[in-house]
Amino acid sequence: GCMVNGKLYPFGRIERTEDCYTCSCSVGEVNCCSLFHTPVDYDKKNCKVVLNKKSCNYDVVRKNDPSKRCPVYSRV
């Protein structure tokens, strides 16, 4: 198998790791791509980015009240 972030996965396609990546695992090689898009245009002064491992996406929330979301204008 292949080690991805400290966890052993079987050879073949890995649909989703615990850290929100999809991978291809073969003898001697593992290739992974993220399942999330990183927010780049948002209110950085009042908001912060948090990885939501349940949805495999970044949430942008208020620094002083993480229960409230912030608008995101662009992701990469």
Mean pLDDT of the chain: 93
Residues 64 and 46 in one domain: yes
Which residue segment(s) compose the domain that 15 sits in? 2-34
Task: State the SS3 of 25-38.
Answer: EECCEEEEEECCCC
Q: Given this model, what pLDDT does residue 30 score?
A: 94
Per-residue pLDDT of 26-61, as tens digits, reads 998 999 999 998 999 999 999 999 989 899 999 999
Residues 55 and 30 in one domain: no
Residue 23 pLDDT > 90, yes or no?
yes
Residue 76 pLDDT > 90, yes or no?
no
**Token couple for 7:** 């966890």
Q: Is the full-model pTM beyond 0.75?
A: no
Residues 44 and 69 in one domain: yes
Domain count, the chain: 2
Quick check: helix, strand or coil at residue 45? Answer: coil
